[in-house]
A and B are shown apart, each in its own frame.
Chain A
Amino acid sequence: MTRRRWELLLSLLGPLVVLGIWEFLSRTQIIDPRFWPAPTSLIDTMQQQISSGALFTNIRISLVRVLIGFMIAAVPGVIIGLAMGLYWPVRVFLMPVATAIYAIPKLAVLPLMLIVFGVGESSKIAIIVVSIFFLIVLNTMSGVMGIDPTYRDVAQNLGASRWQLFTTVAWPGALPAIFTGFRLAMGFALLVIVGTEFLDGNKREPNGIGWYIIRSWNLLKVDDLFVGLLVVAFIAWVLNLLLEVIERRLLPWRAEVM
C-alpha cells in the first residue's frame, strides 16, 4: 500500500474512532444519552432531515455565504499580501491597520456590519470577509518574506525583470503560505457564519446551518442539534480536504512536507 493510501485511510479512520467511542459511552449510559444521543440513533433523524430537504437547504445557504465571502476576501487579500511582502513602504503603511483589525474578535464587528449592510445576506458575507481578509493578507505577506533572498539574487543575476521576479519567484515561493492562510481562513469563515446565523434563531424559514442549530436548541430537539453539529464538522472537514487536494495539485514540489 502506498503512503498516499495510508494517509487517506488514516484520515478517514480518525473521525470513525471518535464516533465509535461516543457510541459506546452513550449505549452503556456512561454519558447521559438524553444529552449525548448515540451516533447511530442520530441516523434516523439525519435521514429524515435529508429527505425533507431541510438540511441541504441550510447547508447550501451557509456554504454559499462562506464561499462568496471567501472569494471576496481571498483575491484582494492575496494581492495586498504580496504587495506588502514585496515592498517595504506598503508593508510599513498597512501593517498597523492589518494587525489592529486582525486582533479584534470577529463577532464583535457584527453589530457594525448590521448597521452598515442591514440584516440581509450582505452583512453576513461582509462579516466573513472582514474576519478572514487580514488573515489571508498576513499569511501571504509572511510567505513572501520567508522566501530565501538567494532566490531573488539568482533571478536578478540571470536578468529577471520586476514582473518575471514576481511570477517566477515571489508567487510560487509564497504559494505554500498562501494555502496555509486559505485553510485557516476557511475554518474561521465557518466559525463566524455559524455564530452569525445564531442571531436569526427566531426566523421560521431555513436560514443556514447556524440557524438550524440554534433553532433545534430553541425547540429542545437534541437529536437535530447533534445533526447540525455533525454537519458543521463534516463541512469543515470536506472544505479542508478540498483545499488540500488543490494544494497537492498546484504544488507537487512540496510533496515531501505533506
Chain B
Amino acid sequence: MAIAASRHSSGVTHPVGKTAQPTTYRPGGTLIHVDHLTRTFESPSGTLNALEDVSLDVQTGEFLAIVGPSGCGKTTLLRILAGLDKPTTGTLDAPGRFPTNALVFQGRSVFPWMTVEDNITYGLKLTGVPRSERRERATALLRLIGIERFRASFPHQLSEGMRQRVAIARALAVDPDLLLMDEPFSALDEQTKLILQDEVLDIWERTRKTIVFITHSIDEALVMADRIVVFTAQPGRIKAIVDVDFPRPRDFLTVRSDPHFAERFRCVWDLLRDEVTIASRRSVEGTR
C-alpha cells in the first residue's frame, strides 16, 4: 500500500458547479483537479479557516473516500465540488467540459411533500425532461434500489434506510459525471448501513460513476474506496492519500475478512488519531 501526495496537473479553468450536456469520460485520467483550494468563513467571533491549500486530483471512475476529524472542512470541500459554495482562493479545473454532479446529503434530504417517484425524478423535472421519460427512468431506478412498491408512497411512510435509498436514486437520476456523498449512512442503524454499503458498491460496479464519499468510519472507507484522503484537524489540509487495493468487486464481508484489513485499518488510524485528538481537545477548550 502506498501513501502518495496528491498529484497536480494543469487544465482549463471552469466555473464551479456549471452544468453541461452529459458525455462519457475515458476511464482513468483526471475528472476534476482541485488546485490550492482555501475557504475561510468570517464571523463576529473571528475568521475560521475551513480549508487550507487543498490540492487533489479526482480520477475518472474512482471511488474516493474522505476521512477526517469532525469540523475539518470535509463537507465544505464537498459543497464546493457540488457548486453550493465557492472557494476563497484556488480553483477547480477539469481537463475537458466541467463534470456535472449530484450530491447525496447527510440526514434528511428527501422532500416530504413529494412521492418517492417525484423525489427521484425531481432533477429531471427541473431540466424539462418529458413525463414519459421521467416515468421510465423512475422505474429503472426504483428497481435498482429495490423499492418499486413504494413508488407512490410519501417519505414519511418509509424507513430511514428506504429514504436514503431514494436520496441516492434522486442523485443517480440526473446521471451525473460525479456522485458526491456526504456521510450518507450516518443516520442509519448498523445493519441497514452494511446493506446500503453493499448496495452502493453494487451501483458503483454497474455504473462506474466517479464517487467522492465523506465518512467518519475507517471501516466504511476501506470497504468502499479506491483511495482514502485523510484530512487534518481544522484548518482542513490533506494529510495523506492512502491507496486501497482490495480486489473488486467487493462487499463488506470479504473486505473485512481480508488478511490485510487490520493492517490497513491501522495505517489509516495512525494517520487520523493525532488529528482526532487535536480536534477533540480543541472542542473541549471551545466549550470552556
Contact = CB atoms under 8 A, between A and B. Distances in A.
A160 to B, nearest CB: 5
Contacts of A154: 103, 105, 109, 111, 122, 170
B83 interface: yes
Nearest to A156: B84
B84 A157 contact: yes
Interface stretch (A92-100, A145-153, A184-192): A145-153
A253 B102 CA distance: 25
Nearest to A256: B156
Contacts of B83: 156-157
Contacts of A168: 111, 122, 126
Nearest to A253: B154
Contacts of B170: 154, 158
B108 A150 contact: yes
Contacts of A164: 126
A253 B126 contact: no
Interface string B80-115: 001110000000000000000111010111011110
A220 interface: no
Contacts of A150: 105, 107-109
B161 interface: no
A251 interface: yes
Interface string B159-188: 000000000001000100000000000000
Nearest to B111: A151
A192 B19 CA distance: 54
Contact of A158 (B79, B107, B113, B174): B174
Interface string A218-258: 00000000000000000000000000000000011111100
A256 B84 CA distance: 32
B19 A159 contact: yes
Contacts of B156: 253, 255-256
Interface in A136-174: 148, 150-151, 153-161, 164, 168-169, 172-173
Interface size class of A (residues with CB under 8 A): 20 to 34
Contacts of B105: 150, 153-154
Interface string B136-169: 0000000000000000001110000000000000
B268 to A, nearest CB: 29
B71 interface: no
Interface string B10-46: 0000000001000000000000000000000000000
B235 interface: no
B202 to A, nearest CB: 24
Nearest to B127: A159
B21 to A, nearest CB: 13
Nearest to A176: B113
A158 B109 contact: no
B108 A158 contact: no
* Most B-side CB within 10 Å, residue of A154, A255, A256: A154
B147 to A, nearest CB: 17
A67 B41 CA distance: 50
A95 B62 CA distance: 50
B113 A159 contact: no
A136 to B, nearest CB: 20
A160 B128 CA distance: 11
B155 A160 contact: no
Q: Which 9 A-B pairs have the closest CB atoms?
A: A158-B123, A172-B113, A253-B154, A256-B156, A157-B103, A253-B113, A150-B109, A160-B126, A157-B82
Given A159-B123, A159-B126, 12 more contacts: A150-B105, A151-B111, A154-B109, A155-B126, A156-B83, A157-B84, A158-B170, A160-B126, A175-B113, A251-B113, A252-B154, A253-B113
26 contacts: A148-B108, A151-B109, A153-B103, A154-B109, A154-B111, A155-B122, A156-B84, A157-B101, A157-B103, A158-B102, A158-B123, A158-B170, A158-B174, A159-B19, A159-B126, A159-B127, A160-B126, A161-B126, A168-B111, A172-B111, A172-B114, A251-B113, A253-B114, A253-B154, A253-B155, A256-B156
